[in-house]
Amino acid sequence: MVYDLIVIGGGPAGIMGAAAAGGKGLQVLLVEKNSELGRKLSITGGGRCNLTNIGSMDIFQNNIVTNSKFLYSSLTSFSNLKLIEIINEYGVKTKIEEDSRVFPASDKSSDIVNALLRYLHTSSVEVLLSEKVEHVLVRANSVHGVMLRGGRQIKGKNVLIATGGLSYGHTGSTGDGLMMAQKLGHTVVQPRPGLVPLVTVEEWPGRLQGLTLEAVKVRAIVGGRAEAEQTGDVLFTHFGVSGPAILNISSCIHAFELPVSLCMDLLPFLSIDELEKRLQENFKRNQGKLLKNALGEYISQRMAPVILERSELSTDLQVDRVTRREREKLARTMKNLIVNIVGPRPLKEAIVTRGGIDVKEINPSTLESKLIDGLYFAGEVMDVDALTGGYNLQVAFSTGYLSGISAACRLRRS
């Protein structure tokens, strides 16, 4: 038996690639090393699966951090609307939330996995679970199958590598596809963590563990230069900082080898002058009160001692004793709270892997390797990554779809 297409990896990219090719009449085998498909998919979005974003192509391009141009053909050949249509067609209603994020109406990622399983079934894809692919077999620069752990060979005219990156390895994304591609001559851009919490030099974030501040404007200063800005929630943890604004900014920092600090504006909707004026009014109203309690009007009560400490003011200070200089200093600290960064948390804790197979060696219109005929790539195994908001899953689905359809076109041509 020779399959038209063998897909390695049953995540969103592999499932979509297999179903799209199966839908075109190809005989497709999907091989997954876990005992079930879509293990990572089922934990996405905190178990709710933010499957895509309803934003325009421009918004997608702005939110894709690495190789957005390369992804243009994939995103146009299989758009966010097409994905939603398929998910709806296979029985799952979707809803749109803040920032145009799309979720299943049930808030259950398992519904998305089940819709995709139905799509695979309708497309007559054969699924092989609990089998790990070790090698892609190549002869005369053209793929002719795969070898499983244990040595069994399966023949195929096309092979799609959709094995994901290296983050959350317990879900099966352990970098196997990177090694397979490297053996075949492909270049791998150094994998590194993306959308990842950051470890701080300062210990005070640890004292605030569990506290989330909403709508903080965070600027990353790298090697003394402002490199990126993100606004969103910031969560303090035992090692430093996390939350959507931090995860996003972590993906915009190019070199952690240079000194990195974050400057957090806790009240971005007020200018420094407005804040100072408000503090002055507030202090008049709260004569006799402790400063740390009066500050509760602007920042969380847990945060107040840290702001006082960073402003070199005593926690016992009463508002009527605060000098103009001290008030200015307080306002400056709340608008420019600095943390110095040791580095990101490890890759295994990152939401996505940055780096991967160099896209210069992949045809963006087909996702076929430029080095080996009949070899395709899709999803996070490639050097592509995006910010939070459903963009990463859409990239996986879109590249999966395009590679599956391209394999069908290649067979028709031959």
Ligand X SMILES: Cc1cc2nc3c(=O)[nH]c(=O)nc-3n(C[C@H](O)[C@H](O)[C@H](O)COP(=O)(O)OP(=O)(O)OC[C@H]3O[C@@H](n4cnc5c(N)ncnc54)[C@H](O)[C@@H]3O)c2cc1C
Residues that bind ligand X (CB under 6 A): 8-14, 31-34, 39-41, 43-45, 49-50, 132-133, 162-164, 167-168, 172-173, 176, 351-352, 379-380, 390-393, 396
Taking the complex as a whole, how short is the minimal distance between the CB of residue 405 and ligand X, in angstroms? Answer: 17
Neighbours of 278 (CB within 10 A): 15
**Is 149 or 412 the residue whose CB approaches ligand X more closely?**
149
Nearer residue to ligand X within complex by CB, 75 or 266: 75
Amino acid (one-letter) located at 315: T
Looking at the Cβ atoms of 33 and 335, the one nearer to ligand X is 33
CB of 101 vs ligand X, minimal distance in Å: 8
- Cβ-based nearer residue to ligand X, 104 or 172: 172
Q: Please state, in angstroms and rounded to a whole number, the distance separating the CA atoms of residues 46 and 368.
A: 33
Residue 133 Cβ, how far from ligand X at the closest point, in Å?
A: 4
Decide whether 198 or 331 has the Cβ nearer to ligand X. 198
Q: How far is the CB of 320 from ligand X (least distance, A)?
A: 49
Closest distance to ligand X from the beta carbon of 169 (Å): 9
CB of 167 to ligand X, least distance (A): 6
Tokens 């230069």, residue?
225
Alpha carbon 145 to chain centroid, angstroms: 31
When the beta carbons of 123 and 333 are compared against ligand X, the nearer one is 123
